[in-house]
Amino acid sequence: MCFGQEHKDLSRPGLIALFFVELALLGVVSSLPYVYNQAVKKLGIILNLYQPVVQEEKKLREIAEKSYLPLIKIIKNRKEFRPTLNIPLGLLQQMDAYGYSSWIKDIKDLLEEDRVELVGSAAYNGVLSEIPEPLLTNQIVLNEYGAGYFLGRRSGFEGESAVLVKGLEGFVAPGGFANQEVLDLVGSLGYSWLLADPEVVGGSYGIFDLGAEKECRLLTYNKQLSNAIAEKSDLEINDITPLVRESKDCVILLDAEIFGYKNKDGVYLLNQILDSLRDSGVQVLPAGEFLEIEVGESRMSQIDKVGWLPYVPNNKELWGLNQEILSILAEFLAKYPKLEVEGMENIPVWANELPEEVRIPVIAAQLCDRSQFENEDLRHNFAALYSDLGKLHKEEKLATLIKDIEAIL
């Protein structure tokens, strides 16, 4: 039972998104085969907002209060700052459950006013290049469904799908992990560009076209500049400028948690960076807008195929067992009829009380979360998901694998 195909009645107005950083004139070496000679520099900023669905409430609230709430306040107060936001379902459902409905409404209002750009992604932070079908499509479509439920129209006009959300043109691959199959799937689902780690094209940042037969372009971010900002532990921004001076226009990718939660002075730092950008004349614009301008001015590189960025988990034993479980679930779910979204647009399909034909694919999507292979503090929290799966799908091999995983967790 897949979530697919019914999801696609999404509106596509303007794109709006990435900006920021202390780049008077963006920098970093790149191997792209074209030269920029421009008086005005352009910068796109994509902000990731995500917490695993098993995150403890106390920790989620701390991150929300220190980073997520102040960030949206900055966007509301600074009209020149229009970032691209990647807010997967995993975070939206938690913010809703813990009473942050006004925060969700603020984002919805900003989206309607074209003050931010929203992008698609995986619902629960999976490594898309390693997820089998139909679980892969389920991850993407479930995330769209969540975006429509929380940030779109839940009661459409007559004859119009109720799962509508504004501006889903771009797509962010969690962790930057993508390959040609992922890009092809994302393109088939109606997206016009996919953001991935620059390593999938040998380390270069920029825009890549794969020929007329491919409707989805590849966008890679400036990793050196992104890391320089993410790793800052002080309020000095002049050390970022050298990275900026001689580089091409670019997009950067940042975790929202660095502003306030990981760096206690991060909110102040962000305002300093935005002030510097404004004063230096750097043009910050939405990721989609950025891409449109670059494509319109033929600043693209041609490639034949997207490369493969291998995923290396911290806990390889847990990863291996999880992959076996996902294979069993993929075979099982492939036998189900497609989930009919029509008539369910106003239902949170991730709710625990729904029937097993809905619960199993949702739990399968949640078990793709790579946080369990990377975060020791969170790992044990996933045990409840594996236990719930075992109660819903009683299969001998699956039960054995779940016991092996519970022993590790």
Task: Give 359's pLDDT tier (boundaries 50, 70, 90).
Answer: very high
**282 DSSP 8-state letter:** -
Widest CA span in the chain: 65
Instruction: Say if strands 250-255 and 283-284 run parallel, antiparallel, or are unpaired.
Output: unpaired
Distance separating alpha carbons of residues 306 and 182, to the nearest angstrom: 9
Assess contact for 356 and 392: CB atoms under 8 A.
yes
CA angle (397 as vertex; 395, 400 as ends), nearest 5: 105
Assess contact for 331 and 127: CB atoms under 8 A.
no
pLDDT of amino acid 256:
98
pLDDT at 162 over 80: no
Distance separating alpha carbons of residues 291 and 217, to the nearest angstrom: 9
How many Å from the N-terminal Cα to the C-terminal Cα in the chain?
A: 29
pLDDT at 21 over 60: no
Distance separating alpha carbons of residues 92 and 101, to the nearest angstrom: 9
pLDDT tens for 62-113 read: 999 999 999 999 999 999 999 999 999 999 999 999 999 999 999 999 999 9
Within a 10 A sphere around the Cβ of 211, how many other Cβ atoms? 8
pLDDT of amino acid 297:
86
Residue 407, amino acid = A
pTM for this predicted structure: 0.87
The token pair that represents 9 in the structure block: 């009645």
pLDDT of amino acid 15:
29
pLDDT of amino acid 214:
82
User: From residue 369, how far is each of 119, 130, 174, 358 by CA, in Å?
Assistant: 19, 12, 10, 18
pLDDT of amino acid 128:
97
Assess contact for 280 and 82: CB atoms under 8 A.
no
pLDDT tens for 130-159 read: 999 999 999 998 999 899 899 986 554 444
**248 DSSP 8-state letter:** P
pLDDT of amino acid 404:
97
Tell me: cis bond preceding 132? Omega within 30 of 0 counts. Answer: no
42-302: in CATH 3.40.190.10: no
Distance separating alpha carbons of residues 358 and 369, to the nearest angstrom: 18
List the chain domain ranges: 42-302, 316-408
Task: Give 36's pLDDT tier (boundaries 50, 70, 90).
Answer: very low
**64 DSSP 8-state letter:** I
Q: Which of 34-43, 61-70, 220-229 has the lowest mean pLDDT?
A: 34-43
pLDDT (mean) for 24-50: 60
Task: Give 282's pLDDT tier (boundaries 50, 70, 90).
Answer: confident
Assess contact for 276 and 237: CB atoms under 8 A.
yes
Residue 347, amino acid = I
Tell me: cis bond preceding 313? Omega within 30 of 0 counts. Answer: no
Residue bearing the bigger pLDDT, 7 or 379: 379
Distance separating alpha carbons of residues 130 and 12, to the nearest angstrom: 29
pLDDT of amino acid 317:
97
pLDDT of amino acid 278:
85
Q: For residue 319, which of 377, 382, 256 has the smallest C-alpha distance?
A: 382
pLDDT at 37 over 70: no
pLDDT tens for 264-279 read: 999 999 999 998 888 8
Within a 10 A sphere around the Cβ of 295, how many other Cβ atoms? 15
pLDDT (mean) for 312-332: 96
Task: Determine the 3-state secondary structure of 254 from DSSP.
Answer: strand
pLDDT at 174 over 60: yes
Task: Give 337's pLDDT tier (boundaries 50, 70, 90).
Answer: low
pLDDT of amino acid 45:
95
The token pair that represents 282 in the structure block: 């750097």
